[in-house]
Structure 1
Amino acid sequence: MNRSDDGDRAKRLEEENEALGRENQLLKTILDKVHESVLAVNERDEFILYNREAEKLEGFNREDILGKKEDEVYPQPFYFSDEVTKMILKTGIPVTEQPYWFRSKDGRKTNMIFSAYPFFDQGKIAAVFVIFRNMNQMGDFIATTLNIHKQFFDQDQKLSLENGYHLEDIISVNQKIQEIIAEARKIAVHNSHVLIVGETGTGKELFAHGIHNAALHSGEPFIPINCAAIPDTLLESLLFGTVKGAFSGATDMPGLFEQAADGTVYLDEINSMSLPLQSKLLRVLQEKTVRRLGSEKQTALNCRIISSSNTDPLEAIENQTFRPDLYFRLATVTINIPPLRERKEDIGILAIHFIQHYNQEFGLLINQISDDLLQQFYQYDWPGNIRELKNFIENGMNFVQAEDKVLNISHLSESFRERLGQSDRLPEAPVHQGTLKSTLLETEKNLIKTSLVQHQGNITKTALSLGISRQYLHQKIRTYHLAGLKG
Structure 2
Amino acid sequence: MNIEYLQYLNRIYKRILDEVDVGVHAVDETGKTIIYNKKMMQMESMELQDVMDKNLLDVFMFKDDQSSTLVKALQEGKETRNVKQTYFNNKRREITTINDTIPIFEDEKICGAVEIARDVTKLERLIKGNMTRSGTTRYTFDSITGTSPAMKEVIESAKRAARTSSYVLIVGETGTGKELFAQSIHNASSRFSGPFISQNCAALPDNLIESLLFGTKKGAFTGAVDQPGLFEQANGGTLLLDEINSLNLNLQAKLLRVLQEKTIRRIGDTKDTPVDVRVIANMNEDPIDAITENRMRKDLYYRLGVVTVFIPPLRERKEDIPLLVKDFIEKYNERFQMNVKGLSEEVHQSFMEYDWNGNVRELEHIIEAAMNIMMDDEEIIMYPHLPFQYRSKMHNKERVAPASSVDTFIKDRADLDIPLKQQMELFEKTYIEHVWRKNNYNISKTATVLGLSRQSLQYRMKKLNIKSK
Give TM class, smaller chain. 0.5 to 0.7
Structure whose residues are more often helix by fraction = 1
Distance 1:197 1:419, change over 3 A: same
After the TM superposition, which residues 472-483 of structure 1 pair with which residues of structure 2 at under 5 Å, given as runs? none
Asked if 1:301 corresponds to 2:275, the answer is: yes
Q: Which residue of 2 aligns with 1:388?
A: 362
Distance 1:239 1:155, change over 3 A: farther
Match of 2:212 among 212, 217, 238: 238
Give the partner amino acid of 1:199: E
CA distance in 2, matches of 1:293, 1:423: 61
Q: Deviations over 1:153-198 (max 9, x none)?
A: x96954654x610011100011121122122222212110000111
Q: Which residue of 2 aligns with 1:164?
A: 138
Q: TM-score scaled to structure 2, two decimals?
A: 0.57
Gaps of 5+ in 1: 1-153, 428-444, 456-483
Q: Deviations over 1:417-444 (max 9, x none)?
A: 11223686899xxxxxxxxxxxxxxxxx
Deviates more, 1:204-213 or 1:179-188: 179-188
Match of 1:359 among 321, 333, 347: 333
CA distance in 2, matches of 1:367, 1:278: 49
CA distance in 2, matches of 1:338, 1:168: 18
SS at match of 2:389: helix
| 8 Å Cα contact 1:372-1:409 kept in structure 2 | yes
CA distance in 2, matches of 1:426, 1:398: 27
Q: Which residue of 2 aligns with 1:224?
A: 198
Distance 1:297 1:390, change over 3 A: same
CA distance in 1, matches of 2:342, 2:218: 58
Give the partner amino acid of 1:248: T
| 8 Å Cα contact 1:453-1:485 kept in structure 2 | no
Give the partner amino acid of 1:298: D
CA distance in 1, matches of 2:157, 2:331: 28
Asked if 1:265 corresponds to 2:242, the answer is: no
Distance 1:313 1:215, change over 3 A: same
Q: Which residue of 1 aligns with 2:121?
A: none
Deviation of 1:320 after TM superposition, in Å, equals 1.5
Give the partner amino acid of 2:340: I
Q: Deviations over 1:377-432 (max 9, x none)?
A: 000110111011111111111111111111111111322211223686899xxxxx
| 8 Å Cα contact 2:231-2:277 kept in structure 1 | yes
RMSD: 3.0
| 8 Å Cα contact 1:369-1:408 kept in structure 2 | yes
| 8 Å Cα contact 2:230-2:239 kept in structure 1 | yes
Deviation of 1:452 after TM superposition, in Å, equals 13
Match of 1:322 among 296, 304, 315: 296
Q: Which residue of 2 aligns with 1:334?
A: 308
Give the partner amino acid of 1:173: T
Match of 1:310 among 267, 273, 284: 284
Asked if 1:404 corresponds to 2:378, the answer is: yes
Asked if 1:344 corresponds to 2:340, the answer is: no
User: Which is higher, the Rg of structure 1 or of structure 2?
Assistant: 2
Q: Among the aligned pairs, what percent are the same residue?
A: 47
CA distance in 2, matches of 1:308, 1:372: 36
Deviation of 1:250 after TM superposition, in Å, equals 1.8
| 8 Å Cα contact 2:135-2:198 kept in structure 1 | no
Distance 1:305 1:200, change over 3 A: same
Asked if 1:196 corresponds to 2:170, the answer is: yes
Give the partner amino acid of 2:168: V
SS at match of 2:338: coil
CA distance in 1, matches of 2:188, 2:302: 24
Distance 1:302 1:355, change over 3 A: same
Distance 1:448 1:170, change over 3 A: farther
Asked if 1:210 corresponds to 2:159, the answer is: no
Distance 1:314 1:248, change over 3 A: same
Distance 1:366 1:298, change over 3 A: same
Q: Deviations over 1:200-259 (max 9, x none)?
A: 111111000000000011011111111112111111111011122222222211100000
CA distance in 1, matches of 2:198, 2:422: 45
CA distance in 2, matches of 1:423, 1:230: 45
| 8 Å Cα contact 2:135-2:197 kept in structure 1 | no
Q: TM-score scaled to structure 1, two decimals?
A: 0.55
CA distance in 1, matches of 2:398, 2:221: 56
Q: Which residue of 1 aligns with 2:115?
A: none
CA distance in 2, matches of 1:447, 1:269: 47
Q: Deviations over 1:448-469 (max 9, x none)?
A: 99799989xxxxxxxxxxxxxx
| 8 Å Cα contact 1:289-1:300 kept in structure 2 | yes
Distance 1:176 1:253, change over 3 A: same
Asked if 1:377 corresponds to 2:346, the answer is: no
Aligned residues: 291
| 8 Å Cα contact 1:352-1:369 kept in structure 2 | no
Gaps of 5+ in 2: 1-128, 403-418, 430-461
CA distance in 2, matches of 1:229, 1:425: 43
